[in-house]
Chain A
Amino acid sequence: MMSILSDTARADVWAGAMRRFSQDKLSCGVTKEDLRAAVDALDTFLSDNATAVNSAIPQPARSSLSVTQKALLLMYVIDRRYLDGA
């Protein structure tokens, strides 16, 4: 099972998200603590469900692609679904 990110890595994600929100002027109605809790929860969810996400990829891609390649696929799908034009 994939382990969760370190506290430092989670803090980097959290800080990066806040900088992106600022840069893109994305209104943010939650506090820093709320945002950090969201980062932690998403990381924990991905850790807990890494096997299920991997299983959702059909063969032969699941076995042939590297972890990096599959992570990029997931990132591109999320980007297209939720960030396209953002």
Chain B
Amino acid sequence: MTTRAVFSPLAAEFPAANFPAPTLINRRPALAFDAATNETCQWSCVAPQGLTGTLTALIYYIMASATSGDTDWDVSLEAVTDGDAVDLDAGDSFATVNSTDNTTVPATAGYLDVVSVTLTNADSIAAGDYFRLRLTRDAASDTGAGDAYVLAVELRDGA
């Protein structure tokens, strides 16, 4: 496994509604994903040279208050190659969502947990593609009470 990109909360991009609030947790930049509403954000990037194999997204998060229950995360990719017939000015072309569900939260709020999401549906991403990674907390389905603070997202490949 090789780390190909690390996404900071400070670089997140937001939809018009239902996005995680950017915040500081103990002076650490974080994205606060609500417990009652599914919230989404994205990161834009260019796929690095050497990218190969199955991709994995790792979500580094802490819970604000929950010490029991679980979290559900959805990750999807939109990969666009030079010359693709995709009007980026008019819409999205995200691939099917990849999910990791029912990950038990740490027994102490504030302790780091890392959730791994295998990106089986990766929109045929290849080195040099302009891509976006979309992250959603599936709050409608998970059971952890309170915000989940995402501190970073790492993208690994199979190299």
Contact = CB atoms under 8 A, between A and B. Distances in A.
Contacts of B29: none
Interface in B74-107: none
A contact residues, range: 10 to 19
B9 to A, nearest CB: 16
13 contacts: A11-B36, A19-B146, A19-B147, A22-B146, A23-B64, A27-B67, A27-B108, A31-B68, A31-B145, A32-B36, A32-B69, A32-B144, A33-B143
Interface in A18-41: 18-19, 21-23, 25-35
User: A11, A15, A27, A33 — which one has the most chain B CB atoms within 10 A of its CB?
Assistant: A27
What secondary structure prevails in chain B residues at the interface with A? loop
Given A19-B147, A35-B145, A28 B66 contact: yes
User: A14, A19, A33, A34 — which one has the most chain B CB atoms within 10 A of its CB?
Assistant: A19
B32 interface: yes
A32 B35 contact: yes
Contacts of B138: none
Interface string B50-77: 0000000000000011111100000000
